[in-house]
Amino acid sequence: MSGTWGKNIELSLFGESHGDAIGITINGLEPGIKLDLDYIKEEMARRAPGQNDLSTPRKEKDEFHILSGYFNGRTTGTPLTMIIYNTNQHSRDYEKTKNIMRPSHGDFTGYIKYKGFNDYRGGGHFSGRITAPLVFAGAICKQILMEKGIIIGSHIKSIKNIKDEDFTHENLNESTLKFLRKEEFPVLNIPSGDEMKKLIKDARVMKDSVGGIVECTAINLPAGLGDPFFDSVESTLSSLLFSIPGVKGVEFGIGFGITELYGSEANDQYVMDNEKIKTITNNNGGILGGITSGMPLVFRAAMKPTPSIGKRQKTIDISTMEECTVEIAGRHDPCIVVRALPVVEAAAAIAILELLKEMK
């Protein structure tokens, strides 16, 4: 198994959901970078569980400890390693069902892949808990990008069949992204957000769950990042996005919607704006030929409904190879979309910094 990603910014994840700790090692950070630890804590808090009645009641403060690569307030240039100790495990919740393959989890595939030696508690290394170190790395990358004027933000585009507004030329600016980051439930249209919250709460009552879509953007990107084909902006970012548990689809710009247009409607036509080359529309999401155009990078990540639900479902007992049923106990999110926003943003920040370093 490989828990490593990247060439210029290299990440190595470790830990399990109900193990002693989780963490990450980051290679490729230049020496002398001043880190705002309070900003990192804020980003971690956005993802942390147990903050409201829309998420799991599991309480984890995600307090991180930097073990190396950081001295006197700045990076040293050596590998930066961070660890988060798990403090609120309920591992006994999984003992009774350790041989029961939970539907739509990594239990069965993990059992086969690792010959039954995988840590089954809370999903082990397959768990969304492992995204906490990813948010830590993303928070560092965000700070580096902000120094270059690049701002990343996101909102809840939809929960089940209830939709928020899209990012547009009118609302896509730094003030909007700062506003969304501070919101507990980040949407552009408040009434739509209220409907979404009610839907999530109703799903919890029914012992069920719902999924949705995160729309993310990066503004003030330079033109020229990325390469055609294998190291395109899309492929670099998608490789990280599909590493986030629960992500089942990614689209850039207007995505699959572009197939419904004529070429004359889909094409992003060029204009001059204050001596800068821009496009009238941004249907391609700021990427052409795998390379950034200088327009805002816009993409969406589709998150599946949380597979851990209290309703009775059919499955198998791997120890007896017999069919059975399961009602999943424990503490679970009725919707993972809200807590996924900072994770998606982190993936964007890491990918963009990776591409910026490649450009040099």
Q: Is 304 marked as binding a ligand?
A: yes
41: which residues sit within 8 A by CB, 6+ positions away?
Answer: none
281 is in an annotated binding site: no
Report the distance separating Cα 326 and Cα 180, nearest Å.
38
299 is in an annotated binding site: no
What is the distance between the alpha carbons of residues 258 and 280, in angstroms, rounded to a whole number? 16
Residue 333: both structure tokens together: 């999110």
Round to whole Å and give the CA distance between 295 and 333: 35
b/e sequence 19-41, b meaning 16+ C-beta within 10 Å: beebbbbbbbbeeebebeeeebb
The DSSP bridge pattern shows strands 270-273 and 212-219 to be: unpaired
Please check if 90 is assigned to a binding site.
no
23 phi/psi in degrees, rounded to 5: 180, -175
The 3-state DSSP composition of the chain as helix, strand, coil percent (nearest 5) reads 35, 25, 45
What's the token pair of residue 21? Answer: 């700790």
In the chain, where do the E strands start and end?
4-5, 10-15, 21-27, 64-68, 70-71, 74-75, 80-85, 151-159, 162-163, 212-219, 247-252, 270-273, 276-279, 287-288, 291-292, 297-303, 313-317, 322-326
d(CA 9, CA 269): 34
State the DSSP code for 81: E
127 is in an annotated binding site: yes
* Residue 334 assigned ligand-binding role: no
- The answer to whether the annotation marks 249 as part of a ligand binding site is no
Do 326 and 97 meet the contact criterion of CB atoms below 8 Å apart? yes
217: nearest Cα among 258, 173, 175, 186: 173
305 belongs to an annotated ligand binding site: yes
Q: Bridge partners of 153?
A: 217
Q: How far apart are CA 329 and CA 93, in angstroms?
A: 7
- Report whether 289 belongs to an annotated binding site: yes
C-alpha span between 164 and 157 (Å, rounded): 5
Binding residues for NADP(+): 47
Residues that constitute the known binding site for FMN? 125-127, 289, 304-308, 331
Residue numbering of the annotated binding site: 47, 125-127, 289, 304-308, 331
